[in-house]
Amino acid sequence: MLKIAISQQNYHIGNFSANIEKMIGAIRQAEAAGVDLLVFSELSVCGYPARDFLEFEDFIRQCYAAVDTLCQHTDKVAVIIGCPQRNPRKEGKDLFNAAWLLEKGRVKAVAQKTCLPTYDVFDEYRYFEPAFEWNVIPFKGRKIALTICEDIWALDENPLYRVCPMDELIKAGPDLMINISASPFDYDHDEDRKEVVRANVLAYKLPMVYCNAVGSQTEVVFDGGSLVYNASGELVRELKYFEEDFAIVDLDDSMFLTGGSSVVARKLDKEMRVSKVKDPEMIIPYLTDPNNMRQIHAALVLGIRDYFEKMGFSKAILGSSGGIDSAVTLAIACEALGKENVRAVLMPSGYSTSHSVDDAVQLSRNLGNPYDIIPIAPVYDAFLSTLSPIFKDLPFGIAEENIQSRTRGNLLMAIANKFGYILLNTSNKSELSTGYGTLYGDMAGGLGVLGDLYKMQVFAMARYINRNGEIIPENIIVKPPSAELRPGQKDSDSLPPYDLLDKVLYQYIEKHQGPQEIIAMGIDAALVNRVLKLVNSNEYKRNQFCPIIRVSAKAFGVGRRMPIVGKYLS
């Protein structure tokens, strides 16, 4: 019998001392429990994704030094870690993404990653060379097939990769699969991961130990949920989601028995990497599904908390308008950082309604966070007076509207600079998609909290936050959205209804559907063409936006790379 432990940990990229200390702590815990083998996640030594840090030789030297340090703690328990490995061949990239087995003070074996994802937020072929060879690793009478993350995703009828490493490893007769992973969260993807692990187990008739990363690295959130399946495809152990966890599993003879189970693997294909919603009428119900809201809420809390802790900040500030976006952002930030560490600033103008101020005040009273009220009329009037010789008698328009938004942005950044806050941006994905925002105004910020949530999801998130009682005042949720930059302004003056807009945006952004496919769903052609033109002509705005916490299969930022200067659909 093998006693295997999984340590699902939250690493800090490039913080070798902290990462090593955390891993040594888990090794001691495993030693005390009489564990044979302890498994960590992908690139655990340096953190994932290390990106261009991997191009620095000093960074790689520190990775190797960390391996040497960890080796010193393997007298009683063997460990599997993730760490870059130098490529001894002149041909190809200089590094492998590797899994290292350390035992009795030395490196016993190393397995290199074969399938290097280069899509969405992944860019591994920029840094790593695919594996050249595949060998099982003998360990205490068993033979281990050791793979890394994407290596187990090549098992489908239309794979992204020409080589499936498990097809090569199975030739050597392994007894056990171990996969170390850094698989990010998105609400389109969570169940797919379990299906992929199960499919591998059923295909190769071997048990699998799967260790995933947890924690947020700027915009990418890793949700943990490490898994153990027996050879019959039955789930034996599932670790916590969105938090660190440690679990021990005894791999006795029953774990290696096949048959006697009714478990059937789902068919796998490339569609697993994009949304699976086929019926356009189900898009909004799917996006706003309560289970999705629960997971997204946990991801956003973790995303905010880790961003602040890993950057060395503790306090946040945001503009509180009495609208739903700022309300949801404020509520989530208070949960992530503590209500005393989140400062709301209400900045009414002459176009702000009295109930917006009242709603924003009531929200902060419900949450218990500090807030200030700073009317912007004096600053706004000073801008207009200064610009009057240039503006002359031209009619009120978008310039005057944006001055209000930029006044608020300046005030927020001034307070943030003075007191060491990070400004949280409150723009949602529907607004960012269509360019409905002001550069250097309401688009200012250090971290985008709602930038990967469509407007209909923001409404659903408000309901989720209020699931146990009213936190966000009902009036904030039910009133028509408005930027309040001119008399009687409503979002619907400039944009289609959000339930229709989000349906079009989701098809285009997440599912990569073109105008003809979307029109064929029964949506007005003029509206579709208008919306897609707005999306593509506002890429320059999004390119200047802050990092966005990613919760979907296709978020704005590093995972969506579009030309700024382009003619397609614009």
Q: List, as residue ranges, the binding site for L-glutamine.
A: 119, 183
| 3-class secondary structure, 184 | strand
CA distance 525 to 242: 41
User: Any catalytic annotation for residue 164?
Assistant: no
Q: Which of 42, 129, 150, 484 is catalytic?
A: 42
Contacts of residue 271, Cβ cutoff 8 Å, sequence gap at least 6: none
As a whole number of angstroms, the longest Cα–Cα distance in the chain is 87
* Cβ proximity of 344 and 369 under 8 Å: yes
Task: Give ∠ CA 99-100-105 in degrees, rounded to 5.
Answer: 165
Catalytic residue among 3, 113, 310, 429: 113
For residues 101, 102, 108, 114, the Cα torsion angle rounded to the nearest 10 degrees is 20
As annotated, the binding site for deamido-NAD(+) includes 402, 431, 541
Q: Which two tokens stand for residue 259?
A: 């048959």
Bind-site residues = 119, 183, 319-326, 402, 426, 431, 541
| DSSP, residue by residue, 400-444 | HHHHHHHHHHHHHHHHHHHHT-EEEE---HHHHHHT-S-TTTTT-
Closest listed residue to residue 300, CA positions, set 415, 461, 435, 166: 461
Q: How many helices (H) and strands (E) does the chain have?
A: 17, 19
**Category of 522 on φ-ψ map: left (φ > 0), alpha (ψ -120 to 50) or beta:** left
Cα–Cα distance, 343 to 184 (Å, whole number)? 30
Helix (H, G, I), strand (E, B) or coil at 527: helix
* Cβ 483 vs Cβ 495: under 8 Å: no
Residue the block writes with tokens 């993730």: 82
Output phi, psi for 96, to 5 deg: -110, 150
If you ran DSSP here, which 8-state letter would residue 217 be given?
E
For 515, the enclosing helix (H) or strand (E) is helix 515-519
> Is 63 a known active-site residue?
no
Token pair belonging to 213: 């990363």
**149 catalytic per annotation:** yes
Residue 229 · residue 201 · CB < 8 Å: yes
The helix (H) or strand (E) run that includes residue 199 is helix 190-204
Which residue type does 174 have? P
Contact of 422 with 312, CB cutoff 8 Å:
no
Residues 6+ apart with CB under 8 A from 495: 430, 434, 436, 501
Instruction: Note if the bond before 49 is cis, omega within 30 degrees.
Output: yes
Catalytic site residue from 149, 164, 211, 546: 149
* Cα separation values, 347 from 66, 380, 487, Å: 50, 11, 16
Which residues does the annotation place in the binding site for ATP? 319-326, 426
Six token digits for residue 52: 């261009």
CB 84 within 8 A of CB 95: yes
Q: Which residues are catalytic?
A: 42, 113, 149
